[in-house]
Amino acid sequence: MSPQSTREIEPLITIYSGLSAAEAARLDALVSRRRLDPGAYLLHQHTPARSVFMIQEGMLMLERSSSTGRRQVMAFSHPGNYIGITHRAHYEFTVSALTAAVVQEIPLKPFLTMQDESPRLKENVRSIGGNILAHTLDQVFALGQKKAHERVCFLLRQLSERQAGASARRIELVMTRQDIADYLGLTIETVSRAFGKLKREGIIDIFSAHTVEILNMDTVEELALAD
C-alpha cells in the first residue's frame, strides 16, 4: 500500500466486525476493562505478552528505548486501536497513557483459541495486523524521506484523520513536544521551528502549544505525502 492510500477512510475494523451475535457474546465474556491515569503504564517492553488491548477512551503512546537512553515513539494510539495483536511472546514496546484512558483487555490464550474457531475473527485480526504494519511502513517512509516540516504534517494528518468527526481541522496535541520529536526522529527545537514555519506560511494556526488548527488541509496533505 502506498503512503497515499492511508488517506482512505478506513471504517476502523474491530475484532467484532461481521461476527455473529453468539460469537460477539463469547468475545464479550473475555473482555475486562482497565482504567489508566495520565502517565500510567499499561505494559512494558520485554515482558511476556499475555493480553491484547483495545483502546476505548483516551490516547496511549507506544515507545521503544535503547539501553543508551534514546527512545523512539512508535505510535500514538486512539480509541479503536489495538495493541498487542501482532506480537511475539514478549511485548515489543512500552505503552503508557497520555491522557486518562480506558482500555479493554482480552487474555491472549482464550482469544487465540477463539480465533481457531471463528474464521471471521481470525480474518479481523489479520486485517488489524495488516493495518499496524501499514502504519509502521508509513512511518519508515516518513523518517527516511521527509524533512522536518513534512514530518510534522505527516503527524498532523494522522491525528486529524483519526480524530472524532466534526472539526478534524482543529487538533489537540495531547503529547509533549518531546514525544512528537521522538516520534518523528527530530529534536524538540526542530519540531518547534517546523511548527513556526508552518504557521508563518499560513498553513496552520497555533492557538496554544497543544492546540493547532489546519488552515490549508490540501497543503498539509501534500507535505505529509511529499517524498
Partner DNA sequence: CGCCCTATTGAGACTTGTCAAGTCGGGTGG
Partner DNA sequence: CCACCCGACTTGACAAGTCTCAATAGGGCG
* Residue 185 is a binding residue for DNA (CB under 7 A): yes
139 binds, among DNA, a second copy, none (CB under 5 to 8 A by kind): a second copy
Helix (H/G/I), strand (E/B), else coil: 86 = coil
* Residue 187 is a binding residue for DNA (CB under 7 A): yes
- Among the listed ranges 129-137, 159-167, 170-178, 199-207, the one in contact with a second copy (CB under 8 A) is 129-137
Which residue from 98, 83, 93, 90 is spatially nearest to 63, judged by alpha carbons? 93
> What stretches of 95-176 show up as alpha helix (H) in DSSP?
108-117, 119-145, 148-162
Minimum distance, C-beta of residue 223 to DNA, in the bound complex (Å): 12
* Residue 196 is a binding residue for DNA (CB under 7 A): yes
* Residue 72 is a binding residue for DNA (CB under 7 A): no
Residue with cell 495488516: 130
- Among the listed ranges 12-20, 104-112, 129-137, 203-211, the one in contact with DNA (CB under 7 A) is 203-211
Instruction: Give 49's Cβ-side CA count (13 Å radius).
Output: 20
Minimum distance, C-beta of residue 84 to a second copy, in the bound complex (Å): 11
Sheet order of strands, 204-208 included:
170-172, 211-214, 204-208
196 binds, among DNA, a second copy, none (CB under 5 to 8 A by kind): DNA
* Residue 50 is a binding residue for DNA (CB under 7 A): no
Which one-letter amino acid corresponds to residue 98? L
Q: What whole-number distance in Å separates Cα of residue 6 and Cα of residue 130?
A: 12
* Residue 102 is a binding residue for a second copy (CB under 8 A): no
The residue length of the chain stands at: 227
Question: Pattern of binders to a second copy over 144-183, x per CB under 8 A?
Answer: xx------------------------------------x-
130 binds, among DNA, a second copy, none (CB under 5 to 8 A by kind): a second copy
Integer angstrom CA distances of residue 9 from 41, 45, 51: 30, 31, 28
